Amino acid sequence: MLVLPEDKRHYFKSPFGRLSPSVRDVIPGLGSRIVYSVGDVVTYYLIQNGIIPDVAVIDGHTMREPCNFSPAVFSRRMHAKNPPGTLTGEMVRALHDAVKKEPPVLIIVEGEEDLAVIPLVICSPEGAVILYGQPGEGVVVCEVDWKARKKAKELLSYFIFKDENTDK
């Protein structure tokens, strides 16, 4: 498992892409592109506006508070455990597998999905768009290209490895 140390969390505060005030503002630019969503609220608003993400990643919470936006439009569902502040092997495998499956796919995370954007950028096809919420500010649109992958790998380098099978 990869763990994000407290002293590196400030690198993750600024948007990883272009910030827009709302999901409605970004819909016209999506066209027929592959769309992935990370977060319950972003996924909910995409669906409410007629866009079903090819892959959606949710954890049943928004800003650490329970929410009940579990969408029923996904025929394929996967589950992954991912404690807050981490990226588990289970989460990364689920993202890789979901991207390869016939859409739409929903990944339900036990824990927290916030950091899933990083491995999702790395495993997504060129030209895909990843949307996620920036609390209190709006929605971030991350277009997958070589620059986004380079940034994702840089962010991944701030994590430290911890064996998932030990308590150390």
Supply φ then ψ for residue 108, to 5 degrees. Answer: -100, 120
Rounded distance between C-alpha atoms, residue 140 and residue 38, angstroms: 10
Token digits of residue 54: 């090819």
Q: What is the model's pLDDT at position 68?
A: 66
Q: String of b and e for 102-139 (b: at least 16 CB within 10 Å)?
A: ebbbbbbbebbbbbbbbbbbbbbeeebbbbbbbeeebb
Q: What is the model's pLDDT at position 44?
A: 93
Q: What is the pTM of this model?
A: 0.93
Q: What is the model's pLDDT at position 72?
A: 76
Mean per-residue pLDDT pooled into runs of 10, the chain (168 residues): 96 94 95 95 93 95 66 88 97 98 95 96 98 94 98 97 73
Q: What is the model's pLDDT at position 65?
A: 67
What count of Cα atoms within 13 Å lies in the side-chain half-sphere of residue 164?
Answer: 11
Characterise 17 by phi-psi region: left (phi > 0), alpha (psi -120 to 50), beta (else): left
Rounded distance between C-alpha atoms, residue 51 and residue 55, angstroms: 11
Q: What is the model's pLDDT at position 131?
A: 98
Dihedral sign for Cα 148, 151, 152, 153, please: positive
Q: What is the model's pLDDT at position 1?
A: 95
Supply φ then ψ for residue 25, to 5 degrees. Answer: -70, -25
Q: What is the model's pLDDT at position 95?
A: 98
137-163: per-residue pLDDT in tens?
999 999 999 999 999 999 999 999 998
What one-character DSSP code corresponds to residue 54? S
